[in-house]
Amino acid sequence: MPGPCREYLHHRGVDPPAVACAVAQTADGTRKATSKSARVLALLGAFRPEEPEVTLTELCRRTDLPKPTGHRLLAELESQAMVERTARGYRLGIRLFELGQLVPGQRDLQETAAPFLADLHRATGETVHLAVLDGAEVVYLQKLTTSGGPQIASRTGGRMPAHVTAVGKALLAYGTASQVEVVLDAGLARVAPRSIVLPARLGAELARVRHSGVAEEHEESGVGVACVAAPVLGADGRAIAGLSITGWSNRLNTERVAPAVRTAALALSRALGG
């Protein structure tokens, strides 16, 4: 997948459906967007959570677009409230947020899951997540934080590699063989010193999750981070989402909180008709 499109999938707070970008191979071996829609997606994908406002020059540099082209496309996006002009340059517009709220399946899931997440948060006092699987990554749909907890990379609408998170392993363990293959094909990148990077080890871990009904992470996504997750199942027994609890590895008693996570996920599964 070309760089701008990959950035779009990684860094958007409201993640759209996966889109195949039209690209062409240039003389120096790099790829650039060729269709107008691909160029628009590349521009939108050039914004990042840690840098919400970006200059025209920087946007064009990130997307390999000529300045006149970038300026024209941004003007069109601005007219539709997809981006906004600022003193520094541009930022994403409110219309993108509105469109994200129209995704029916995820909206229904979030609304149904909200009270279960709140109960789990109150019962454990730890950070809780609702997430779904998208390709080789998990997308966090909801996150309730707690003071004093680890500052993990997750955020609502954000992504993490599935193989380094407890919720990702729960989703893969109760997913399909093809979903696991997607993760393996993408490569098991090392995110932290204890990340799982060997396919055989991941396979053994997923088998353990299927046996116990819960997944655990011990400093695989970040130093000092521990997590427990359970799958939310559909009527066919496949995972449609996952619930997780995250805390400090030296404080979170995974055996103690595992039953609470499993119970909440089972209750949500039943509420969704699973």
C-beta of residue 220 within 8 angstroms of C-beta of residue 88: no
Residue-wise pLDDT for 85-143, tens only, equals 999 999 998 888 778 766 655 667 888 999 999 999 999 999 999 999 999 999 999 99
> Where exactly does CATH 1.10.10.10 map onto the chain?
3-100
Angle among Cα 150, 227, 182 to the nearest 5 degrees reads: 115
Q: Is the dihedral of CA 217, 218, 223, 226 positive or negative?
A: positive
CATH architecture of the domain covering 104-271? 2-Layer Sandwich (3.30)
What are the CA-CA distances from residue 39 to residues 33, 95, 104, 267 (Å)?
5, 18, 27, 44
Band of residue 26 on the pLDDT scale cut at 50, 70, 90:
very low
Burial class (CB in 10 A: 0-12, 13-18, 19+), 18: exposed
CATH of domain 3-100: 1.10.10.10
197 SS3 class:
coil
Residue whose C-alpha is closest to residue 258's, from 225, 218, 228? 228
pTM attached to this predicted model? 0.68
Among 29-33, 58-62, 91-95, 179-183, the least confident range: 29-33
Residue-wise pLDDT for 208-219, tens only, equals 999 999 999 999
Band of residue 187 on the pLDDT scale cut at 50, 70, 90:
very high
For residue 20, the 8-state DSSP code is P
238 SS3 class:
coil
> Where exactly does CATH 3.30.450.40 map onto the chain?
104-271
Residue-wise pLDDT for 71-80, tens only, equals 999 999 999 8
What would the mean pLDDT of 163-168 be, rounded to a whole number?
97
Q: In terms of pLDDT, which residue wins out, 145 or 19?
A: 145
| pLDDT at residue number 110 | 87
What would the mean pLDDT of 244-271 be, rounded to a whole number?
93
